[in-house]
């Protein structure tokens, strides 16, 4: 198992062939504004604290002001729980390949409160808009006449992520499965030399919302999910 696969295990359950997985298409059609597509262009570099991709494990852990650093058995990497980034406390994970920092994962939110999860998603959206000209949801046909609109994403979250806990509980009782709802958000342009990719999700098995922001090498494998809803036998 690679480090990337280990990171994805929170929501990487095998999919089962249930018609319920098509519900997301109905939800997506309710959104009335267009989230602009990713252009593939590049912008200024994106910096996460003092860390940079390509650093050694020793170099990453040398920034004591962000520590303490903990070892992560699942990935062989490091993690800090209370890093101050842009004035906010954040958990940050570091995954290495051949002793070089391969990618950084910022834990924007982890918890049971939909309102806080929604705000974390909107915060990521706002940052992408400010620094990279906007953001878009991948693989969802969300269109409308007004173009890029933050309110569209807010409406989408209210119609999808907010209902995920109840739906997952319902499917567990009726079908004997638990659901993971996962969505991809990418900036309209990418930072110079690296690639950003946000994922927000609800994991029914853990009854938890998660919002992550990944910084990858520009040539790293894509992170986009194949399906927005995965069902796993309970």
Instruction: List the one residue out of 180, 187, 181, 200 whose CA is nearest residue 107.
Output: 200
Q: How much is the pLDDT for 150?
A: 87
88 token code pair: 């906010």
Q: Which residue has the tokens 């996460």?
A: 48
170 token code pair: 């319902």
Q: How far is it between the farthest Cα atoms of the chain?
A: 51
Instruction: List the one residue out of 179, 112, 188, 89 whose CA is nearest residue 147.
Output: 188
Q: What are phi and psi of 65, to 5 degrees?
A: -65, -20
Q: What is the mean pLDDT of each run of 10 residues along the chain (234 residues)?
A: 48 38 43 42 83 98 94 96 88 97 98 98 96 90 59 91 97 96 96 97 98 97 94 92
Total-model pTM: 0.83
How many Å apart are CA 186 and CA 132, to the nearest integer?
10
DSSP letter for each residue of 65-134 = GG---EEETTTTEEEEEEEEETTEEEEEEEEEETTEEEEEEEEEEEES-HHHHHHHHHHHHHHHHHHHS-
Q: How much is the pLDDT for 6?
A: 45
Q: How much is the pLDDT for 4?
A: 53
SS3 29: helix
The C-alpha R_g of the chain, in whole angstroms, comes to 18
Q: How much is the pLDDT for 44?
A: 83
């Amino acid at each position: 198992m690679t480090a990337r696969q280990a990171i994805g295990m929170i929501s990487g359950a095998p999919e089962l062939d249930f018609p319920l997985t098509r519900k997301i298409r109905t939800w997506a059609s309710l959104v009335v504004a267009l989230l602009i597509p990713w252009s593939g262009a590049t912008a200024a570099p994106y910096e996460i604290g003092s860390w940079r991709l390509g650093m050694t494990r020793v170099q990453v852990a040398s920034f004591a002001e962000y520590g303490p650093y903990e070892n992560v058995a699942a990935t062989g990497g490091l993690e800090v729980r209370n890093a101050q980034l842009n004035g906010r406390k954040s958990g940050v994970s570091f995954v290495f390949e051949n002793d070089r920092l391969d990618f950084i994962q910022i834990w924007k939110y982890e918890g049971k409160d939909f309102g806080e999860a929604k705000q974390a998603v909107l915060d990521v959206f706002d940052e992408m808009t400010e620094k990279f000209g906007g953001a878009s949801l991948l693989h969802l046909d969300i269109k409308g006449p007004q173009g890029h609109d933050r309110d569209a994403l807010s409406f989408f979250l209210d119609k999808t992520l907010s209902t995920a806990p109840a739906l997952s509980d319902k499917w567990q009782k009726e079908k004997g499965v638990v659901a993971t709802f996962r969505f991809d958000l990418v900036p309209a342009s990418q930072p110079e030399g690296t690639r950003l990719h946000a994922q927000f999700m609800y994991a029914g098995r853990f009854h938890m919302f998660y919002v992550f922001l990944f910084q990858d090498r520009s040539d790293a494998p894509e992170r986009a999910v194949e399906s927005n809803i995965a069902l796993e036998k309970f």
